[in-house]
Each structure stands twice: as structure tokens, then as C-alpha cells.
Structure 1
Amino acid sequence: MRLDVSTSSRGPMFDGRALAAANRYVDDLEQQLAEEGLTILRREMRAVFKTPTGYYESRCVIVDGNKIWDSRVVYGPWLAGVGSRNFPVTRFKGYDHWIKTRHQLNTRKRALGERLLRRYTGRM
């Protein structure tokens, strides 16, 4: 008995289109997560800051397409409660706006990723 098997290596998996689509998906997901995180962070800051000036909020931006940072505002660590002048030096323990942002973003990231993935699966 003789068995002949032939295969064809054509299509997105073999010519690099699937890999390119997967890389674009990861880049888009990182960008959307950063934008969602910045939206959450700004909402949290508006909710917890007692006398907001708007300066700190305006300095919180997305860099490199996937990171949120406060542009090294000198009192940023103090606001977050991790500065050298927080409790016990002063009574102020800081706000938890970064912690709440991280928690909320972690609960939303799966749904956001699945929604975005639907756009890319047809290309793979």
C-alpha cells in the first residue's frame, strides 16, 4: 500500500500576513488600553482632588503609544501618596487615583481585547 500526501503552503499563515496582523493587533490594543487608562485616570483625579488646578491633569499624557505618565510633575508622588513628604511627615496620605485606575483598567482589558480581536481575525 502506498500513500501520497501533498501540501500547499499558501495563505496568510505562510506569507507573513497573519504575523503582521497579529503585530498590528498588539500595537492597537496597547494604544487603546493606554487611552482608556488615561480617561479613567482623569475621571478619578476629578473625583478625588479637593482643589484641582488642572495643571497636573494636563501633564498626564500617553508616551510611546502605550504608557501613561505624569511628565515628572514635582508634586506627582506627593499626590499619589508615595512621596517623601507624605505621612508620617505630614497628615496627607495621598490620593489613590493611580491604584483605582490600574484596578479599573485590569477589569476592562479582556473585553476591550476581545472586541478589538474580532477586527483582526479575518485577516489572519
Structure 2
Amino acid sequence: MADVEITMHGPLFDGRAAREFADYCDEAREQIAAFGEEHALTLMGAAFRHPTGYYESHIITERVAADSSRVHDQGVVYGPWLEGVGSRNSPVTRFPGYWHWKRTKALLALRAPVMAQRLLDRYLPRMR
């Protein structure tokens, strides 16, 4: 009978890969959320006819769980009206809304995978 000793070492076995992957997920989430906030604010800046700065100053990004972040307007009462989903939008009034959140969400759906992949390419060498 022969004894066999197996020694495993490297990032996968000593926890470095798991830590790098967790760091990657955090950074990807933060970058994507920051891009979403910036894009929404850019749309608002281009579209709002008489901006006071109040609504824009209430746009924040917050981490809502270990693996997700949310960009929102902190519940500003006229936020739904500005977006176009309020009860006082068209057809009640002529104002259809700016659709800044809907357009930002659509752009994020397209760009987030590309952003995450680009970032992953930077992290993969550290996991080997």
C-alpha cells in the first residue's frame, strides 16, 4: 500500500480568489450604479426646463443589500410626475414626463454587462 499526499495551493485554495471575486462584485456594482446616477442626472440637466436643483439634489445611490445598490430620488413627491408615471400626467395634463429613469434603466441593461466584463478582465489575473 502506498501513501499519497496531495498539497493544494494557490488563490483558489487559500481564499485569495474568493476575496478578489467579492471585491470585483463590489466594484462592478458601484461602477454601474454610479454610471446610472450620472446618466439620470445628465438627462435631467438636458431636459428640465426650469430646474431649481432641488430634485437633482435628492438623487442618491445607496447600497440596499450586500449585492445590490439603488439609484433613486428619495421619494420626492413630484418625482413620478417628472418621470411621466404620475396621476397628473397625460392625458390629465399635456405634460407627458421626461422618462429619465426609464431611459437610464434601458441604457444600464445594455451597458452593465460590458462594464462588468471589462472590470472582470482586470480582476481575473489576480485570481490565478
> Which TM-score band applies after superposition, normalised by the shorter structure?
0.7 to 0.9
Unaligned runs of 5+ in 1: none
Matched, 1:96 2:107: no
Distance 1:57 1:49 in 2: 10
Distance 1:21 1:122 in 2: 10
**In the alignment, residue 108 of structure 1 is paired with which amino acid?**
R
TM-score, with structure 1 as normaliser? 0.87
Q: Which residue of 2 aligns with 1:58?
A: 57
1:73 aligned to 76, 99, 109, which one? Answer: 76
Aligned to 1:40: 39
Q: Which runs of 5+ in 2 are unaligned?
A: none
CA distance in 1, matches of 2:50, 2:24: 40
The superposition leaves residues 48-67 of structure 1 with CA deviations (integer Å, 9 ceiling, x where unpaired) of: 11111111111101111721
Secondary structure of the 1:24 match is helix
SS across alignment from 2:77: coil
Range moving further from structure 2, 78-87 or 108-117: 108-117
Which has the larger displacement, 83-92 or 28-37? 83-92
Q: Return the alpha-carbon distance in structure 2 between the equivalents of residues 108 and 51 of structure 1.
A: 30
Please give the root-mean-square deviation of Cα atoms over the aligned residues, in Å: 2.1
1:34 is aligned with what amino acid? A
Give the SS at the match of 2:101. helix
Percent of pairs identical after alignment? Answer: 47
